[in-house]
Amino acid sequence: MLPSPAIAELQLVFARDALTTDEAECLVYGYDNSRRQAMPDAVVFPTSHEQVTELVRICRSHRIALVARGRGTNTTGASVPVSGGIVASFERMNRILGIDPDNRIAIVEPGVLNGDLQIALAPHRMFWPPDPTSAPFCTIAGNIACNAGGPRAVKYGATRDNVLALRGVAGSGDAFRCGSATTKGSTGYDLTRLVIGSEGTLAIVTEATLKLAPLPSARRTLRATYANVDSAAHAVARIMAQPVTPCALEFLDDQCLALARAHAGDSIPVAGAMLVIEVDGEPDTLGPSVDAVSNAARGEGLIELRIAANDAEVATLWSARKALSPALRTLSPNKINEDVVVPVSHVPELVAVARSLAKKFALPIVCFGHAGNGNLHVNLLPRDAAEHARAEQALDGLFDAVIRLGGTLSGEHGIGLAKRAFMTRAVDANALSLMRRVKAQFDPDGILNPGKLLPD
């Protein structure tokens, strides 16, 4: 429960409908897509940078935990208020402040939805590259918090590569701006890239200047099926070794295809593995690019290579990838989705590790994801309590293998609560010590999103 003086101060900043301590209303702001939940003591709905500055001041003065929240699409528990306190929901701070096509930037508030921004940019023939699966309903600040990516990251980069400047409030209460609306800059420490991916543990973002890209005039979609996973994984390495970078390179193993086929029918091919590949650009240069990628996709184990001729065929080629998530949910509503990353050349070994763990722990494990940058979603699918216990053991082996292969724990989901205990394996002790000191500088009293990201 919040102390009465703190509530009184909050009421001076937030109107009656912008502050609630009602348990039923607070309950819905205490969970995210990780299925974890905790009860906040209050929820506030900021609409301005100045309100956020006052909010942080109040929380620091009374040592109250403060968790910034977008739309709760996070899968790692990063927006769950495990220490109670206040959740700041940014759903009302959702204005697009400016679009400047000449300089390829957009300036937005934190609560703008990724999907709404893309719609607003379309008439200008521009887009913002990060495209996570939750794009229609996740917020820009949520993307910033976990450095979200998506299929297009293989060519255009993740969030950290597409944000130029930020405005925010550190846990100390200090309001600041960092970065600039230019694509080049060498002026001091890069605080913008530091805040991105920090999961709300250093500062609360109140404004972002985003780097836009021109919409390509043309796109071609290819689907390559292979006799086995190893053949497909080696094709990924070949595709990424040649000069033409696809704008999407998605991998599905045989178990993914079987599940998708059971869910969506005969449009899903029967194969040992599959790649869905997209190439974009201008019409007069797209043909040679498609040829280059097609040649790289061909090799030992290829069953079929199809190139979509129209939008209907594009939808057909993507159908397996689109059917996958609902198919996985029917098999295991408690699926564990790990977004580990390894160097592209080690993708075959990562898939082999997943297969070995599935056999060792008698547990369904399927692999799919953004193979072009080595970011595979390894999905563990426990169907009962016993399998869930074995899944926890399998995770231990998976993360050890990822680190051994020169990879890292997360490509785009972040650490949150789910992977916090494994951080000591991925980051050396001295680096973790530096991170803790950075945290202490930004947030000296530890009020911002406590219990997340950094291990005790």
CA dist., res. 156 & res. 160, Å (int): 11
User: How much of the chain, in percent, has pLDDT values that exceed 90?
Assistant: 80
Q: What is the pLDDT of residues 377-412, one digit of tens each?
A: 999 999 888 998 999 999 999 999 999 999 999 999
**Which has the minimum average pLDDT: 60-64, 96-100, 226-230, 258-262?**
258-262
Q: Is 177 exposed, middle or buried (0-12, 13-18, 19+ CB in 10 A)?
A: middle
Amino acid at 7: I
CATH 3.30.43.10 boundaries in the chain:
4-89
Residue 189 has pLDDT above 80, yes or no: yes
Residue 301 has pLDDT above 80, yes or no: yes
Q: Is 51 helix (H, G, I), strand (E, B) or coil?
A: helix
**Which has the minimum average pLDDT: 91-100, 167-176, 361-370?**
361-370
Residue 34 has pLDDT above 90, yes or no: no
Q: DSSP states of 364-431 as a string?
A: -EEEEEEGGGTEEEEEE---SHHHHHHHHHHHHHHHHHHHHTT-BS-SSS--TTTTGGGHHHHS-HHH
Residues 6 or more apart whose Cβ sits within 8 Å of residue 403: 425, 426
Looking at residue 390, its pLDDT comes to 94
Looking at residue 446, its pLDDT comes to 97
Q: Is 94 helix (H, G, I), strand (E, B) or coil?
A: coil
Average pLDDT, the chain: 93
CATH 3.40.462.10 boundaries in the chain:
218-404
CATH architecture of 218-404: 3-Layer(aba) Sandwich (3.40)
Q: Is 29 exposed, middle or buried (0-12, 13-18, 19+ CB in 10 A)?
A: buried
Mean pLDDT of the 188-212 span: 98
Q: Which residues pair with 209 in a beta bridge?
A: 107, 165
CA dist., res. 75 & res. 138, Å (int): 12
Looking at residue 261, its pLDDT comes to 82
Residue 258 has pLDDT above 90, yes or no: no
The size of the chain, in residues, is 456
Looking at residue 127, its pLDDT comes to 98
Distances (CA, A) of 454 to 407, 410, 416: 18, 14, 9
Q: Which tokens in the block code for residue 421?
A: 């205990």
Q: Is 321 exposed, middle or buried (0-12, 13-18, 19+ CB in 10 A)?
A: buried
**Which has the minimum average pLDDT: 111-115, 322-326, 340-344?**
322-326
CATH class of 4-89: alpha beta
Looking at residue 259, its pLDDT comes to 83
Residue 323 has pLDDT above 80, yes or no: no
Residue 318 has pLDDT above 90, yes or no: no
Looking at residue 311, its pLDDT comes to 83
Instruction: Band the pLDDT of 271: cuts 50, 70, 90.
Output: very high
Q: What is the pLDDT of residues 69-119, one digit of tens each?
A: 999 999 899 999 999 999 999 999 999 999 999 999 999 999 999 999 999
Amino acid at 232: A
Looking at residue 436, its pLDDT comes to 97
CA dist., res. 143 & res. 176, Å (int): 20
What are phi and psi for residue 374, nearest 5 degrees?
Answer: 75, 15
CA dist., res. 213 & res. 281, Å (int): 12
Say whether domain 96-214 belongs to CATH 3.30.465.10.
Answer: yes
**Which has the minimum average pLDDT: 207-211, 335-339, 439-443?**
335-339
Mean pLDDT of the 4-27 span: 95
Predicted model pTM: 0.94
- C-alpha of 134 from chain center: 9
CATH 3.30.465.10 boundaries in the chain:
96-214
Label residues 224-251 b or e (16+ Cβ within 10 Å = b). bbbebbbbbbbbbbebbeeebbbbbbbb
Closest by alpha carbon to 57, among 166, 141, 175, 142? 175
What are phi and psi for residue 324, nearest 5 degrees?
Answer: -70, -50
Residue 268 has pLDDT above 90, yes or no: no
Looking at residue 267, its pLDDT comes to 79
